[in-house]
Amino acid sequence: MCDLKGEHLRICPQGYTCCTSEMEENLANRSRAELETALRDSSRVLQAMLATQLRSFDDHFQHLLNDSERTLQGTFPGAFGELYTQNTRAFRDLYAELRLYYRGANLHLEETLAEFWARLLERLFKQLHPQLLLPDDYLDCLGKQAEALRPFGEAPRELRLRATRAFVAARSFVQGLGVASDVVRKVAQVPLGPECSRAVMKLVYCAHCLGVPGARPCPDYCRNVLKGCLANQADLDAEWRNLLDSMVLITDKFWGTSGVESVIGSVHTWLAEAINALQDNRDTLTAKVIQGCGNPKVNPQGSGPEEKRRRGKLAPRERPPSGVLEKLVSEAKAQLRDVQDFWISLPGTLCSEKMALSTASDDRCWNGMARGRYLPEVMGDGLANQINNPEVEVDITKPDMTIRQQIMQLKIMTNRLRSAYNGNDVDFQDASDDGSGSGSGDGCPDDRCGRGTSRKSSSSRTPLTHALPGLSEQEGQKTSAASCPQPPTFLLPLLLSLALTVARPRWR
């Protein structure tokens, strides 16, 4: 029997009530906690899907690169002898740099490849001419002529063009999955405001206080309450869709001779072609180097030139499709399309799946005041559309800053994906030059640097952006002297994580 006068109620309609002020306050806190828990539960399902996709693609891409390195280690010793065995560290370092780049280290991939070819040329030229004394200044001269001489043939240029596009596509797609998951996690931590808490209390428990616990909320009433409560979250919709569309689009770059699967799993074949070309052109190369750099001194302790040529017999470059990537992409496309409207459908989803809505006729449901028809129209999606929300007082001039920051993160990642679709790494897109030589010489265009890259320099790196799981900040920030300045990277907004108290779920 509800025989208390309702003047003390601050949320529920006043009148005879079953609830004291303390009960009303406790129920208000409980209803807010239940909604926050329901939001986190919905977000966790989406996070789990994105995390599963990320692990599956990451495992596959790394398997391709690891398989290429294992093939190199198993075939190059027999194919090239000491030309490989005395330079195993150079090859091992190249694969390590490729892994770092894929996992998010902000190194310049084209420059990394150029420096690898420059170091390899010096070492192999010395091995092919043990009878000559080749001091550093002579090797510097060799390096300056390398672009014109093309000592490794077309292999460095082809690897540079194809690997850059393939690695950019692979890492941007996996980064996109990671950014999407991170956005969902951070948004799920945004607490509900006091006006939302009042509206949810009125929606869920005021019927109990007024002695009509069997009256379930009217569907449109519930939608208006949650559209008001989740107005900021709905504003994620446009950039969320842009991100997922861009991720689906970038998968087009996974196929063909320049696709991810063909290129990442076949790095070793371009390395083999390069060494073969160097051996085939050794005499011509030597004559041109002597012509340009002069006659080197004879090494009295050196042996004669090695005449035996060992040619690599490796698998064809075109990798037969395993079917694994096709399956992964098909599943990812379907799942990403299914969650495109996640943010704007959230109020309806929570009302239908988590709330015990009325299934009776419209005049028997709880409308916030009593049993009866709910007359107000349902509001649109997003903050701006809540200006006339009849259930939640929303200040449309004060958007939630945490969610605004996540919208910016979505925009940044979408831009990276669109650049990757065109074959550009957004951090270094101004450094691309498809017309530059064989990649055996300098890795820094003259119009940007003013002088050639030092023979001793190694890859330039800047701090990590969008690093994949498993790559530490220390790995990404290894730096070394490089004469070429790095283009500026995007300034990422400060991301705030707001903690909230975990409450026991009370919603269905």
* Greater model confidence, 361 or 45: 45
> Phi and psi (nearest 5°) for 297?
-75, 155
d(CA 286, CA 271): 21
Q: 315: closest CA among 265, 357, 240?
A: 265
In a domain, 451, yes or no: no
In a domain, 478, yes or no: no
In a domain, 226, yes or no: yes
User: Residue 211 belongs to what domain range?
Assistant: 16-299+322-385
In a domain, 401, yes or no: no
pLDDT average, residue stretch 465-487: 42
d(CA 101, CA 108): 8
d(CA 83, CA 268): 15
In a domain, 134, yes or no: yes
Q: Do the Cβ atoms of 374 and 458 come closer than 8 Å?
A: no
pLDDT of 504 higher than 80: no
Q: Three-state SS for 366?
A: strand
Q: How far is CA 94 from CA 68, 267, 451, in A?
A: 12, 10, 24
Strand partners, 107: 461
Task: Provide, rounded to the nearest whole percent, the portion of the chain with pLDDT above 90.
Answer: 51
What is the sign of the dihedral through the CA atoms of 320, 323, 329 and 333?
positive
pLDDT average, residue stretch 135-143: 87
pLDDT band at 216 (very low <50, low <70, confident <90, very high): confident
Q: Which two tokens stand for residue 198?
A: 């009042």
pLDDT of 490 higher than 90: no
Q: What is the pLDDT of residue 436?
A: 34
Q: Three-state SS for 132?
A: strand
Half-sphere exposure for 115 (CA within 13 Å, toward CB) = 25
Q: Which two tokens stand for residue 163?
A: 């690997």
In a domain, 267, yes or no: yes
Q: Three-state SS for 221?
A: helix
Q: What is the pLDDT of residue 123?
A: 92
pLDDT of 492 higher than 90: no
* Lowest mean per-residue pLDDT among 117-131, 328-342, 425-439, 478-492: 478-492
Q: Do the Cβ atoms of 369 and 202 come closer than 8 Å?
A: no
Overall domain count for the chain:
1
Mean pLDDT of the chain: 80
Q: Do the Cβ atoms of 189 and 496 come closer than 8 Å?
A: no
Q: Do the Cβ atoms of 247 and 402 come closer than 8 Å?
A: no
In a domain, 45, yes or no: yes
In a domain, 111, yes or no: yes
